């Protein structure tokens, strides 16, 4: 039977919905891994990539351990700690940023510096509170030195961790904050100005692109557009929930 949510997504051009159910996920890495192919047969992404294999089917605990011990790229050399993410692991909302900065590296939590304060205010504007029905993660889990933009290979190396987080959370809506997050999730060149205001999809999950809060701190003029994006996010979630 078609649920209201499936119907809404289908009307938005995002159906059919194929969701992993929590009960179908193996509890630990050593159990038979559930392949993406079995769970999400859409848009030509039927095969599990070789570089995803090490986190395929992992539990949150195993994923967190894997990320904190990760040495797969050079970012591990200067980090204090890897920053997996924060929030409700069954949240409807997933916000994805770029990479931890200095404060995040110190504290082990994403978006706790100036940009994080703005993000918290943005969340408040749509009646969300960090940790409650929201999960916040980054495309890259370790701080790039001097807060440079993560390199393409660093983003690609880290991508399986984000993908596994998404499989575990099963959010109703993903918000990509800024270009690196949007490009990582959409796997294509993105210009924020052109991509915002539209509904995209990561696999079958609706995805909205908006400005990165750090950019908004520097660019006052785009704050009005960010507000429009927040309204769009809220409306979209409302539709997804069938409210
Ligand atoms: N910017 C990001 O993209 N992520 C953080 O965690 C902090 C700043």
CATH number for 183: 3.40.470.10
pLDDT digits (tens, 9 = 90+) for 169-219: 999 999 999 999 999 999 999 999 999 999 999 999 999 999 999 999 999
Compute the distance between CA of residue 144 and CA of residue 99 in angstroms, rounded to an integer.
Answer: 7
Q: d(Cα 213, Cα 119) in Å, to the nearest integer?
A: 6
Q: Is the CB of 154 under 6 A from ligand 1?
A: no
Rounded distance from Cα 82 to ligand 1 centre (Å): 12
Output the CA 93–ligand 1 centroid distance in Å: 17
CA distance 21 to 167: 9
Whether 90 maps to a domain, the answer reads yes
Q: Which tens digit of pLDDT belongs to each residue from 101-149?
A: 999 999 999 999 999 999 999 999 999 999 999 999 999 999 999 999 9
Query: Is the backbone peptide bond immediately before 16 cis, with ω within 30 degrees of 0?
Result: yes
Asked, for residue 123, whether it belongs to a domain, the answer is yes
β pairing state of 173-177 and 205-210: parallel
Pocket perturbation via mutation, ligand 1, pick of 75, 95, 98 by most ligand atoms within 8 A of CB: 98
Q: What domain range is 127 assigned to?
A: 48-241
Provide the number of structural domains found in the chain. 1
The answer to the question of residue 18 being in a domain is: no
* CA 82 – CA 220 distance, rounded (Å): 31
State in Å: Cα 218 to ligand 1 middle: 15
Whether the Cβ atoms of residue 114 and residue 158 lie closer than 8 Å to each other: no
Pairwise pLDDT comparison (48 vs 232), residue with the higher score: 232
Distance CA 168, CA 90 (A): 8
What are the start-end ranges of the H helices in 142-222?
Answer: 152-169, 179-186, 192-195, 213-218
pTM, entire model: 0.82
Is residue 142, in this structure, part of any structural domain at all?
Answer: yes
């Amino acid at each position: 039977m078609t649920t209201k949510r499936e119907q809404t997504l289908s009307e938005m051009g995002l159906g059919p919905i194929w969701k992993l159910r929590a009960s179908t996920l193996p509890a630990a890495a050593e159990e038979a891994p559930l392949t993406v192919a079995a769970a999400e047969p859409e848009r030509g992404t039927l095969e599990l990539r070789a570089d995803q294999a090490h986190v395929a089917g992992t539990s949150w605990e195993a994923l967190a351990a894997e990320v904190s011990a990760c040495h797969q790229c050079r970012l591990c050399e200067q980090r204090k700690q890897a920053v997996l993410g924060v929030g409700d692991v069954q949240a409807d909302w997933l916000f994805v940023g770029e990479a931890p900065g200095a404060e995040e590296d110190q504290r082990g939590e994403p978006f706790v510096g100036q940009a994080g304060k703005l993000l918290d205010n943005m969340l408040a504007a749509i009646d969300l509170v960090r940790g409650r029905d929201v999960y916040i993660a980054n495309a890259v889990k370790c701080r790039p030195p001097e807060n440079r933009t993560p390199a393409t290979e660093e983003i690609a190396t880290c991508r399986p961790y984000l993908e596994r987080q998404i499989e575990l959370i099963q959010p109703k809506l993903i918000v990509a904050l800024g270009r690196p997050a949007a490009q990582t999730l959409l796997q294509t060149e993105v210009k924020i100005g052109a991509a915002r205001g539209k509904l995209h999809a990561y696999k079958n999950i609706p995805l909205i692109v908006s400005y990165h809060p750090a950019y908004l701190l520097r660019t006052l003029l785009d704050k009005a557009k960010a507000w429009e994006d927040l309204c769009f996010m809220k409306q979209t979630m409302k539709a997804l929930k069938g409210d």
